[in-house]
Chain A
């Protein structure tokens, strides 16, 4: 993954989300307490927190997969609900935690479907579309098995194909729900490096749910920490990597050890 990620087609990639008192409840149980925040471009924002803290719900609301029970979400200055489906898909790409299984299409065919928001139901699949599909396969190192069907791939390979589809979708904002959960350590590093480059070099806005504190420390610029459906921490990565913040989010005492190459250090439970 040495290549530069392609720059987006649109003029300004720096659109962002504004959330005002966003709340989500199911059957009377509040999953997400009223939450206000701004999420902007050019950086990697990590969503962290214990299981059931509301990270995935927040991500689904940003992706417009779920409507909030109350409150307002806007993207690029327009209410999220007012966006047309394809217009939004050109701006926001979303990778669910558990994508559909049992797909008989080849990896390349799946990645090519990521170009749908650009050509639509009737437009031609242009040379540019094909080039971007190839590029996405290349940067995610999935070219080798591009012609195998998805259900013959390993879990990690499949996860990288889904990522490739998102890269091909070429949106200004990527919402990723644990995109590295099935990857080995070297592919985790490579995928997260790619994601970081997408943010820093082409100004994309990345929101990523991560479980591993030390991966968050290494690849995120900012962190929003959720606990019990409440936003308890929202700060830069250096401020997050302190025993106090970590205890606030995880309820666990940890110490921060220095690391030779990344300055925020690594966290080890006591």
Chain B
């Protein structure tokens, strides 16, 4: 029996073969019979729906697995996946916009529109990271930002014009259902074109395992190599997305599974990830078709993949001792700004003052009933302010929480992609909120908050349980979080795609549109904010020492396991308080710490406070924009936060000299 990744492929292959045989055995004899004259629905379903669908699953899974393997190798980050480069979000935005504003374009074909959207998004990502020589951090940051931005815009369109865009739900969850062989052949041809260039890049890419300098020393042009690999990965994912929609999880999880199973060299792990991706999607689709029967067409396989993939990942995670993180992509040096040289607390005061000004604007500047801009008049203060201040202060509180949670998590994991949104804690909170919504119909705010806290606590407990054997290695906690998060998102995705009317309410929640704050709950949240930040400030010394690496931290007597558990618990706690306030999808926890890092603040205490204040400033601004810009309609605060924060980050990313 082969070892390592080979065994994983073999086991999954045999399983797929057995399931496939069981599934197809009663139907295949239809093919043997001579074609009957006239109408034969069973045969038609088999030939034009079932078979192409299975082939489609294999093709898409393989393409996404390979795409993920390429990206994780080229960007030296085990969390990179096609979704993080904005490919899906670009396609989704293009589809949404064309549906609403220029449906005639669909005459060229839906896949062409999606492909164009992906292409524009990818071009944007490359353009943004060009000045930094396509460094991994720059590519990842720009990719995530483009993804956030397009995703937020697409979601905003969906919310405003939900009637027309219901089909985007299904597309966004990745439905494999087919009516003919044409899309399958189209995809196969497109993918076949990419096989040769990928094979050519496999060997140079494996040199990256030596580190960039050594690879350069061996005669590689690392920047162009990375560009080429990322471009190929983008094409793979874009072709897939244009024909079946978003299947997010495979590209992330297939390469990780392969590495956990023991593949070391890049050539092997690329091949194995391709196979595992194909088999994972095939298995999922077989299960979906068998379980759902005729309604399988409406159950999007993409959303369900996580239901199968996450448990495998969670099962493998505590069992292996392989080091996951390849050589850390060096954090960008931060020495270019005048601000960086100031070691004092001045930046904290500047950002704090900015926050106060923004808060006052949010309280006082409004749109009159006739949509004119005006200052809150003295006469209205007593009528309006009691309704407005809780909401504004809740935004401040949530921003403070998310900003500090994101900073803590990025320091803890040493990964600039980490944010509370991907840790699974927000997903846990959201999931519990969704359950509350589905069980009780119209839950009260207290019920919602309580269930959010419960969900977050459960997810946190699971993450700790799963990573205890590795000594709470941050990388593993992050992966456990991602797996849980994908699992919960899958359930939410299935609910949304199933057409349940409550799905729309769920979506509005996810985007922070159901932003209702009461004075009491706001004050309680603010008290919790103060507690959380004081607790975080107490741990600042650990955060400083974490920068020196785990070995030195241990050498200096930091209790690593305890420190990691405490920090993670703090992150989870703060996220749990913030999620019911603004929804899980603000990405403030991702944007704020990165902004602070690009500003060049190194010292943990200063950076923590700045990150918290920046988060609050973004959310207050977002909330104010959400209330006023489309007056009398309100936009979802969480979405607007992405739209407000992302350009700031992009601007800083551009300014930073390479």
Contact = CB atoms under 8 A, between A and B. Distances in A.
Interface string A99-138: 1111111000110011011001110000000000000000
B602 A113 contact: no
A161 to B, nearest CB: 11
A85 B547 contact: no
Contacts of B334: 104, 149
A109 B603 contact: yes
Contacts of B556: 89, 113-114, 116-117, 169
Nearest to B559: A85
A101 B414 CA distance: 12
Interface in B355-373: none
Interface stretch (A38-46, A90-98, A211-219): A90-98
A89 B559 CA distance: 11
A100 B555 CA distance: 13
Interface in B552-594: 552, 554-559
B549 A116 contact: no
B544 interface: yes
Contacts of B542: 121
A102 B331 contact: yes
B342 interface: no
Contacts of A64: 554
B548 interface: yes
Contacts of A100: 547-549, 551-552
A151 interface: yes
Interface in B481-511: none
A149 B331 CA distance: 13
B539 A121 contact: yes
Contacts of A117: 556-557
A89 B557 contact: yes
A102 B330 contact: yes
A96 B551 CA distance: 8
Interface in B312-347: 328, 330-331, 333-335
Max count, chain B CB within 10 A of own CB: residue among A96, A104, A120: A104
A152 B548 contact: no
B555 A113 contact: no
A116 B545 contact: yes
Contacts of B330: 101-102, 151
A138 B119 CA distance: 57
B335 A152 contact: yes
A199 B583 CA distance: 60
B547 A104 contact: yes
Contact of B333 (A63, A90, A104, A110): A104
A109 B549 CA distance: 15
Contacts of B541: 116, 120-121
B333 A109 contact: no
A103 B551 CA distance: 14
A112 to B, nearest CB: 9
B538 interface: yes
Contacts of B548: 99-100, 103, 105, 110, 113
A133 to B, nearest CB: 14
Max count, chain A CB within 10 A of own CB: residue among B335, B545, B552: B552
A93 to B, nearest CB: 7
B557 A122 contact: no
Interface string A168-192: 0100000000000000000000000
A93 B555 contact: yes
A78 interface: no
A87 interface: yes
A94 to B, nearest CB: 5
A85 B558 contact: yes
Contacts of A169: 556
Interface of B: 328, 330-331, 333-335, 538-539, 541-542, 544-545, 547-549, 551-552, 554-559, 602-603
Given A85-B557, A152-B333, 11 more contacts: A65-B554, A85-B559, A86-B557, A88-B557, A94-B555, A96-B555, A99-B549, A104-B331, A104-B334, A110-B548, A121-B538
23 contacts: A64-B554, A65-B555, A85-B554, A85-B558, A87-B557, A88-B557, A96-B551, A96-B555, A99-B551, A100-B547, A100-B549, A102-B331, A103-B547, A104-B333, A104-B334, A109-B544, A113-B545, A113-B548, A116-B545, A120-B541, A121-B542, A122-B538, A169-B556
| Closest 8 pairs (CB-CB, A-B) | A89-B557, A100-B549, A86-B557, A102-B330, A117-B557, A85-B557, A94-B555, A116-B556
